[in-house]
Amino acid sequence: MPIVEVTDLYKSYGDRTVVDGVGFDVGDGEIFGILGPNGAGKTTTVECVSGLRVPDRGTVRVAGLDPVADHRAVTEILGTQLQQSALQPKLTVREALGLYASFYPDPADGMALAERLGLAPVFGTRFAKLSGGQQQRLFIALALIGRPRVVVLDELTTGLDPRGRRETWSLIEEVRDSGVTVLLVTHFMEEAQRLCDRVAVFDAGAIKALGSPTELVGRSASAVVVSFRPTGGVLDRSEFEALPGASAVRGDGERIVIEGSDDTVDAALSLLARRGLSAERLRVTDATLDDAFLDITSSEPGHAGS
């Protein structure tokens, strides 16, 4: 049974549509990614799931509860790390964790969370003195301290350095392995590909694609990318563009980069062989979630809000 259900969700501000008929469900214990360009409706959607905004139409259920009508009950099972948050400037990390722990009957160990997130050295530091990355880690800890069944993480690794980002990924995997469902809003494709069981790609307030990262990459027009430097002669770019399955051809210095399929790679190498040319520094790589994301989302700016 899904623990989060969103059905035909709409939200507008004046005449501006922000969320336009969104629907999805999230399985218990799943990491569900929400991707999309700026202004695609991602944050508004998870704010409706968290009970922080009231939908114009549609239904949202968290463990069968309405986040608005049953808000208090939902706050006991759902933790939230918002994209933009702040605490009282003089509150220390220790005090913040203690304050949030007091809201729950069986909170997690705040010190253990602080250590796992690299906050132990600043346990006594005031919020205003923390770096941006440290503040972000603190909000992740506060989202987890109530031992939630569901946690919403909106751009959780923004402001973290590469090491901190990967350490946080490991923490989220541990959280999922403990049985917590994670709704993850992110701009980092590598993050989504590493963590998410499924992702919904938003654009202009609607879901344009939904599936596992592998499925979305497989649907991409460019499942394979081949690059090389042709030696021994010259070929016109139009010959590469005419190859079966080729979706894009570009020059990268002296190198040719072709996006396409396995058939495109075979055809490119056959073309070179027929012309007596060599492919120097040949590289063939699978497409990534970045490639799929660019295929799925529109090139024009969306009309929706965040």
CA atoms within 13 A on the CB side of 275: 18
Please state, in angstroms and as integers, the Cα–Cα distance from residue 49 to each residue in 3, 120, 151, 172, 192, following that order: 11, 32, 10, 19, 20
**Which ranges of 102-212 would DSSP assign to H, the alpha helix?**
110-116, 132-144, 162-177, 189-195
Q: pLDDT tens digits, residue range 30-40? A: 999 999 888 88
| Residue 142: Cβ within 10 Å count | 23
The pLDDT of residue 56 is 96
pLDDT at 96 over 60: yes
In the predicted model, is pLDDT for residue 42 greater than 50? yes
User: Do 127 and 98 contact (CB within 8 A), yes or no?
Assistant: no
- The residue ranges of DSSP E strands in the chain, in sequence order, are 2-13, 16-27, 31-35, 57-62, 78-81, 150-154, 181-185, 198-203, 206-211, 224-231, 248-252, 255-260, 278-286
Please tell me whether residue 213 adopts helix, strand or coil conformation: helix
Span 203-232, mean pLDDT?
A: 85
Evaluate the CA torsion angle 152, 17, 159, 24 in order and state its sign.
positive
Q: Which residue has the higher pLDDT, 295 or 147?
A: 147
Return the pLDDT at 300.
44
d(C-alpha 44, C-alpha 125), whole Å: 32
What is the C-alpha separation between 55 and 116, in angstroms, rounded?
Answer: 36
pLDDT at 158 (0 to 100): 74
Tell me, what's the pLDDT at 298? 55
DSSP-based three-state secondary structure for 152: strand
Q: Mean pLDDT, to the nearest integer, of 10-39?
A: 94
Separation CA 257–CA 7 (nearest Å): 42
| Angle, helices 93-101/132-144, rounded to nearest 10 degrees | 20
Residues of the chain with pLDDT > 70, as a percent, come to 95
126-165 pLDDT tens trace: 999 998 888 888 988 999 999 999 999 988 777 778 887 8
Amino acid at 47: E
Amino acid 170 reads S
Residue 280: Cβ within 10 Å count: 12
d(CA 197, CA 214): 9
Contact status, residue 45 vs residue 211, Cβ threshold 8 Å = no
Q: What is the pLDDT of residues 258-273, one digit of tens each?
A: 888 888 889 999 999 9
- pLDDT tens track for 58-74: 999 999 999 999 999 99
Residue-level length of the chain = 306
CA distance 271 to 4: 51
102 burial class (0-12, 13-18, 19+ CB within 10 angstroms)?
Answer: exposed
Residue 286 pairs in a beta bridge with 224
User: Which has more confidence, 81 or 301?
Assistant: 81
Least confidently predicted of 21-25, 100-104, 201-205, 215-219: 215-219
Question: Which residues make Cβ contacts (< 8 Å) with residue 89, sequence separation at least 6?
Answer: 126, 127, 128
Structure confidence at residue 137 (pLDDT): 84
Tokens at 222, concatenated: 């460019």
> Which pairing describes strands 150-154 and 181-185: parallel, antiparallel, or unpaired?
parallel
Looking at every residue in the chain, the average pLDDT score rounds to 88
